[in-house]
Amino acid sequence: MRHFFLRRSFPRGKVSPPMDDFDAQRNAMVERQLAARNITSPRVLTAMRNVPRHCFVPLHLRDQAYEDRPLEIGHGQTISQPYMVAYMTQLLDLRPTDRVLEIGTGSGYQAAILGSLAQRVVTMERIESIGLTAAHLLCELGYGNIAVHVADGTLGWLDEAPYDAIIVTAAGPSVPDALKAQLADGGRLVCPAGPRDMQRLVRVTRQAELFREEESIACVFVPLIGSEGWPV
Ligand code: SAH
């Protein structure tokens, strides 16, 4: 169903190669860049196989959609590299009944991956035009369980709190306290934190009022800008 829609929505013979090429490229990406490295969760691998990343990148970059690197999406922002998306998603350890909050909607790609693994996704974006574009695309692609809000995500989204999982896809100096407070008991939060030029992924696990923090791999994300992030 989804592919049928996508086929019709692109002008014939222009920019996009036939859909089967994208499918083949996506399967190759999952085998070579994810499964061959340390992405072992069958559910995460399936989600990465199913979500059409090429739909979330600008038309002129579509031929690079399945390379393992971030790509520009406008306004100085990027869609994260596939490996990082898979790695962070794996750290979240999602169950089908989970309710998830994402900060940094960007292209909407990470939200689509989350939406195919969890029951409900709330995603927040501070740049209005980016948020609206992602909201339309996610709707067109049929992700009815994802809500996009344009607001400062460092404060979280209280209306649907608490969340079983929270993922931040932009980097602030530290993990925002407001987000920790919106984590459910037993919940997992994954967030890049550290100086502007290089950060580490931090995974926070909540057990009642105890927050256990573990550091994971080094990474470079665009800045998280807001009350509990970097100043504008
Ligand atoms: N998850 C995205 C990648 C996001 S890039 C994807 O899959 O494509 C990071 C995004 O975070 C940018 O779009 C940026 O505008 C947004 N951002 C930065 N600070 C934010 C904040 N305080 N609240 C919400 N979004 C923020």
**CA 214/CA 199 separation, integer angstroms:** 14
- For residue 110, the ligand 1 atom closest to its alpha carbon is 7
Sorted by sequence, the CB contacts under 8 Å of residue 120 that are 6+ apart come out as 98, 99, 100, 145, 160
Cβ atoms 201, 219 nearer than 8 A:
yes
Q: Which amino acid is at 152?
A: D
- For residue 130, the ligand 1 atom closest to its alpha carbon is 13
Q: At what angle do helices 19-29 and 2-9 cross, to 10 degrees?
A: 120
Cβ atoms 24, 89 nearer than 8 A:
no
**CA 177/CA 138 separation, integer angstroms:** 29
107 is known as an active-site residue: no
pLDDT value of residue 20: 73
User: What tokens were used for 66?
Assistant: 């399945």
Q: Where are the domains of the chain?
A: 2-219
Q: Tell me if the bond preceding 82 is cis, omega within 30° of 0.
A: no
- Nearest-CA residue for atom 23 of ligand 1: 153
Q: Which of 16, 41, 80, 116 is catalytic?
A: 80
- Nearest-CA residue for atom 18 of ligand 1: 224
Burial of 49 (0-12, 13-18, 19+ CB in 10 A): middle
Largest Cα–Cα separation, the chain: 57
Alpha carbon of 156 to ligand 1 centroid (Å) = 13
| Among 47, 131, 127, CA closest to 85 | 47
**CA 222/CA 200 separation, integer angstroms:** 13
**Options 3.40.50.150, 3.20.20.10, 3.90.850.10, 3.40.1350.10; which CATH number does 2-219 get?**
3.40.50.150
Burial of 145 (0-12, 13-18, 19+ CB in 10 A): middle
The pTM score is: 0.92
Residue spans of beta strands (DSSP E) within the chain: 71-74, 77-79, 99-103, 120-125, 146-150, 163-168, 183-193, 199-207, 210-219
Ligand 1: lining residues by beta carbon, under 6 Å = 77-80, 103-104, 106-107, 109-110, 124-127, 130, 152-154, 169-170, 222, 224-226, 229
Show pLDDT as tens, one digit a residue, over the chain (232 residues).
333 333 334 444 445 556 579 999 999 999 999 999 999 999 999 999 999 999 999 999 999 999 999 999 999 999 999 999 999 999 999 999 999 999 999 999 999 999 999 999 999 999 999 999 999 999 999 999 999 999 999 999 999 999 999 999 999 999 999 999 999 999 999 999 999 999 999 999 999 999 999 999 999 999 999 999 999 9
